[in-house]
Amino acid sequence: RATARRGLAILEDEGLIATLPGKGRVVTDDSSGGPSYHYQMIAGDLREQIHAGTLVAGTILPSEHVLRRRYAASRNTVRQALAELEREGLITTEHGKGRFVRLLHD
């Protein structure tokens, strides 16, 4: 069991498989080149904007309502994408003010 888990961890580190909540481990598909869940696509798009400098440190993110309309997504999907970015340290939430892009450290 331990050997199998180490093997799966290596495959995941190399990007050959991915662990998807509710789906288990799946082989990544280079032809699609994208995430399997809508929230991952939204988070990926916002992440790219942050890294590209389109959304600079201190910039307020669009509201959940705007993001819902932009991505044709539910409130929960948008919130899940934003939570992922917050866990990664890319954005921060200020109660009553909104979500902001954090300063990136190299």
- The string of pLDDT tens digits covering residues 39-74 is 888 999 999 999 999 999 999 999 999 999 999 999
- Tell me, yes or no, whether 43 and 90 share the same domain: yes
106 within some domain? no
Same domain, 97 and 47: yes
Please state the φ and ψ torsions of residue 105, each to the nearest 5 degrees: -105, 135
Domain that holds residue 27: 1-33
- 31-62 in b/e burial notation, b at 16+ Cβ within 10 A? eeeeeebbbbbbbeebbeebeeeebeeeeebb
Domain identity same for 25 and 49: no
Residue scoring higher pLDDT (58 or 33):
58
Residue that wins the pLDDT comparison between 13 and 33: 13
In a domain, 44, yes or no: yes
96 occurs within a structural domain: yes
Same domain, 78 and 42: yes
Query: pTM of the prediction?
Result: 0.67
